[in-house]
Every structure is written in structure tokens, then in C-alpha cells.
């Protein structure tokens, strides 16, 4: 938050997301209180950068049962009602855990479900069950176990596009219908990870990549 304040970058040029970890408490009321506390702590931390509203807040993990998940979501709904955040998101939610929220027709639908999804790990149903519920899949750790296992094949495909193995692996995620989050201590690597929107893999290349971990 302080880095944002010192950067001079206009607020509307950034999409700022907070996270809450409240999955170890059991029961709707306990989960609500723990999640509400996490929301408050987010806003207190971001206030150091004069940030008084977030673009998105994400549950890192679901609670241990449906009641706990509904308690977590109640706290998120209140944060949105209070105009402290625009979008609500989840991470590592199964179909049943999403349905614990969506069983309420008036519930705010999660914008994103952040999941392990990559060239190395892509169960067939992972995109389908989220899409059917109107939830977008975002990959966390999108290159985990990818380059060491499949780097040679990905680099071979990327050669004709002037792209690295990492860029091909990330482009595969995008063309599969998901997105990804990435981080790096290196500005060069970070820019490389984002430079994947100026080429398209062929359908045959997509198929070859999908079969690498089959």
C-alpha cells in the first residue's frame, strides 16, 4: 500500500485485490466473525496507501463445511454492501463448495475461482464446472512443475513465435479459457510473463500441449 502511495500511479490504473484466510474455524457464526476480521485487517493495511476501496477480495480457502462457507460469504457480502469492494472471489473451491454459496439465489456470484491449473495439471472438468456456474478460473502458480518437465517441448513450439517455454505455457492457459496470476522479483521475467497476448497457438499445438500431462 505504501509502495502504491509513493509510486504516483493513478488509482484507476491498478486493480487491487485483498485476501482473507479464515478456513480453520467451524460453523457459520465463527466463520463470519473470522472473515469479517480479515476484511477489516485488509482495509486497515491498505489505508496506509490511502486506499479506501478494493477492486476485489478473495477467500484463500473454503471453510470445512457448507455452514462455514456461508458464514465466510456473509462477511464478504457485507463488505460489498458497504461499498468497500467491487468483486468477490474464491480460491480452491470445489463444485460443492461453490454451490454452498450459490444455493442462495440472491447471493453475489464469485467473479473468480483461483485454482491450480496449468500444462502440468488440468483435470478435464475444472473449467466446465466453473463455467456452468458463471465463475472464471484463474490459475495460481501457473508454471509450477511445468518447465522442468515439459520445457523442451514448449520451447520447441515457441521457437516459431519467438516465445519462451514459459510464455507458451501461459498462452496455453489463456487459450484454454482461463487466466493466470504471476509474480517475480525480476522485472524482465514479469514483463515476459505478461507478453503472451500477441500470438495464437494452433489447435494442433493446443492439443499437443494438453496431452503432455495426460
pTM, full prediction = 0.94
Per-residue pLDDT 10s for the chain (214 aa) are 888 989 999 999 999 999 999 999 999 999 999 999 999 999 999 999 999 999 999 999 999 999 999 999 999 999 999 999 999 999 999 999 999 999 999 999 999 999 999 999 999 899 999 999 999 999 999 999 999 999 999 999 999 999 999 999 999 999 999 999 988 888 888 899 999 999 999 999 999 999 999 7
- 78-82 long-range Cβ contacts below 8 angstroms, 24+ apart: 78/36, 78/39, 79/39, 80/108
All three cell numbers of 156, joined, read 520447441
CA R_g for the chain? 19
Block residue for cell numbers 465463527 = 30
Q: Which residues contact 9 (CB under 8 A, 6 or more apart)?
A: none
Amino acid at each position: 500500500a505504501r509502495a502504491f502511495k509513493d509510486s504516483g500511479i493513478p488509482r484507476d490504473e491498478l486493480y487491487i485485490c485483498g485476501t482473507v484466510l479464515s478456513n480453520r474455524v467451524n460453523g457459520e457464526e465463527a466463520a463470519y466473525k473470522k472473515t469479517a476480521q480479515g476484511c477489516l485487517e485488509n482495509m486497515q493495511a491498505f489505508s496506509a496507501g490511502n486506499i479506501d476501496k478494493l477492486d476485489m477480495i478473495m477467500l484463500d480457502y473454503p471453510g470445512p463445511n457448507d455452514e462455514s462457507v456461508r458464514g465466510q460469504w456473509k462477511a464478504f457480502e457485507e463488505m460489498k454492501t458497504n461499498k468497500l469492494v467491487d468483486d468477490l472471489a474464491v480460491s480452491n473451491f470445489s463444485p460443492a463448495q461453490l454451490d454452498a454459496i450459490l444455493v442462495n439465489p440472491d447471493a453475489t456470484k464469485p467473479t473468480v475461482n483461483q485454482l491450480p491449473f496449468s500444462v502440468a495439471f488440468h483435470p478435464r472438468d475444472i473449467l466446465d464446472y466453473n463455467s456452468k456456474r458463471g465463475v472464471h478460473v484463474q490459475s495460481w502458480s501457473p508454471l509450477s512443475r511445468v518447465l522442468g518437465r515439459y520445457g523442451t517441448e514448449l520451447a520447441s513450439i515457441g521457437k516459431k513465435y519467438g516465445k519462451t517455454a514459459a510464455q507458451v505455457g501461459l498462452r496455453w492457459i489463456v487459450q484454454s479459457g482461463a487466466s493466470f496470476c504471476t509474480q517475480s522479483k525480476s522485472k524482465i521475467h514479469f514483463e515476459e510473463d505478461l507478453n503472451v497476448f500477441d500470438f495464437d497457438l494452433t489447435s494442433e499445438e493446443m492439443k499437443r500441449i494438453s496431452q503432455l500431462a495426460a
